[in-house]
Amino acid sequence: MSLDDRYVDLKGREVSLAQLDADERRLLKSIEQRADRAPPWHEFANVWMKLVGEFYHDRGLSRSKVRHTDLYRIAQDLGSRLAVAQGLARIPDYRDEIEQLTRARFKTRREFCEATGLSEDMLSHVLARRKHIALDRLNEALARIGYILRIVPQDSFERPRRGRRAAA
């Protein structure tokens, strides 16, 4: 895959542009141009959602299927970047991912803590952003449940440009 056929989102995940057809690429270019003008976040969100929704509706896709398209994911990420740039949101960090993992894979925080070996008190402080977990401790905890840490380039948090390499 060439460098121009990738998009790297805020979390460092790579999205392939190779399978987008010509019409999808034109719409993506239009959405990127709107984002480059840095409109207020809510205005941009309203516009891209309408454009992408109508585009795929005309192709017969349901709303639930539209949310899983690469074009939707990229437009959503562009909106997230605008929200961060305008001070309306913050860049996600490892604590957001721990919270998401806890909710998705475990019934309770206690169950997560039992599986990882972390104390409930520590997890509570970490998720409330009052404390951090030492890297070696976090690595051990994640390994116990089959996960690892991943380091992504800082430039993945800036406005993406095609041609940037995603984290390995």
Cβ-contact 122, 138 below 8 angstroms: no
Cβ-contact 67, 20 below 8 angstroms: no
User: What percentage of the chain reaches a pLDDT higher than 70?
Assistant: 88
- Residues 8, 81 within the same domain: yes
Cβ-contact 104, 147 below 8 angstroms: no
Domains in the chain: how many in total? 2
Q: Is 9 a member of any domain?
A: yes
pLDDT digits (tens, 9 = 90+) for 98-142: 999 999 999 999 999 999 999 999 999 999 999 999 999 999 999
Cβ-contact 44, 79 below 8 angstroms: yes
- Residues 58, 102 within the same domain: no
Q: Say whether 7 sits in a helix, a strand or coil.
A: strand
The pLDDT of residue 150 is 82
Q: Is 101 a member of any domain?
A: yes
